[in-house]
Structure 1
């Protein structure tokens, strides 16, 4: 029973399930934010090291659904189009997961929260920040490296990837497919890295499997709602969610 609940008391366990369900709905709508919402929500009642490994199986399963929604062919094309970003992310995830035991939680949250909040706030203010076409290869390397570094330390590697895809003006469905592919492969690498580092215990693995159920349910609900969101609404909602998540992470780091 302790493994199923992650060692949490009944009230905290119920709250973890509710947060995961909500995170799944948001992911179904915007294609990301599941680990961001889960880590931010768990921070108030769960050890950080447990939180960043408990989200691993929900990440893998929900992103497999998202990446393969249109079949394996489009996913392979996305892997080719974002090969540089993927390679940089994988390398940095393997490195940073070995460092998570030594980095203070407050430092990891601050480094993640500040640039995300600033970028999204600037976008919401109407200031266009785009990646010129001839700089996109370089931007992929940088975005992938930053995503991998943040991912290992904080359990969240989605925002730097979302920032790149928004800057490149990626179409809604293509963006969802690319996010699913990148987060799926990133999740697999992160799981391997945490297993090597010893932070992924059997109890945490079982707890992560339990959280997969509300995550999948929420994603399916959000996916149904996606059909009612147009491209402009989708982009603005993604930016707003980044601002809220960034401010919440900043609050946790300061308090």
Structure 2
């Protein structure tokens, strides 16, 4: 058995990671967001933050098969491309912060950012920014920095997309595809800065099956007529995850 796989399977928090990633995948499948918001607060409380972020970036690649093909046709491809290019520019700074910061700081940052995002979503706050090229580039760059440092590529872009005034189907598709592709594009920067180690690769692969299964379950559950219910369920799970991940419990 490869050494990296042995190390991944021997992690004390593996069962917690498996449960968290299954729930995260399910919510992502029916709500179109929330996977990292659910998984990462729990994950960084169980394993080193850089391991959690790198592993989840690998795991999220499964959405290229389970989610992206169905959603891609509904995306605004110009807007999506601008956001992704700008995010790539921000990743190096964010990953450097992840690599350099104390673990407890990252844990607080992850749970705090998730709680702030949840509060904004529940309150109905949206980024009142016209969806022009400059705004997209700024949002994408901010997403890259935040995503590189915490693995959370969603918060900034979710609030931006919700306030962009696009049809609901386009907003959901843009968010789904951006979150998946940004996780994939984060991997080269993690590798360049030495965080994409064998243990992270193997852990990410171990988590792929429950995450992909969750995606399928979530997609099967999705009913446009119950979007409000799905959103409330997602919010409740996100909030619980953020609270569980707070460093005060350790």
Q: TM-score scaled by structure 1?
A: 0.81
Query: Which residue is equivalent to 1:49?
Result: 50
Match of 1:153 among 139, 149, 152: 149
Instruction: Tell me how many residue pairs correspond in the alignment.
Output: 249
CA distance in 2, matches of 1:213, 1:142: 35
- Structure 1 gaps of 5+ residues are none
Query: Which residue is equivalent to 1:106?
Result: 104
- Structure 2 gaps of 5+ residues are none
Structure 1 contact 29–225 (Cα < 8 Å) conserved: yes
Match of 1:86 among 84, 87, 103: 84
CA distance in 2, matches of 1:95, 1:224: 38
CA distance in 1, matches of 2:240, 2:166: 22
Query: Which residue is equivalent to 2:198?
Result: 202
CA distance in 1, matches of 2:20, 2:110: 20
Query: Which residue is equivalent to 1:252?
Result: 247
Report deviation, 1:27: 1.1
Matched, 1:140 2:136: yes
Between 9-18 and 30-39, the greater mean CA deviation after superposition: 9-18
Change (3 A) 1:208 1:132: closer
Query: Which residue is equivalent to 2:221?
Result: 225
Change (3 A) 1:133 1:206: closer
Q: TM-score scaled by structure 2?
A: 0.83
Change (3 A) 1:5 1:16: farther
Match of 1:213 among 204, 209, 216: 209
Q: Give me the CA root mean square deviation.
A: 2.9
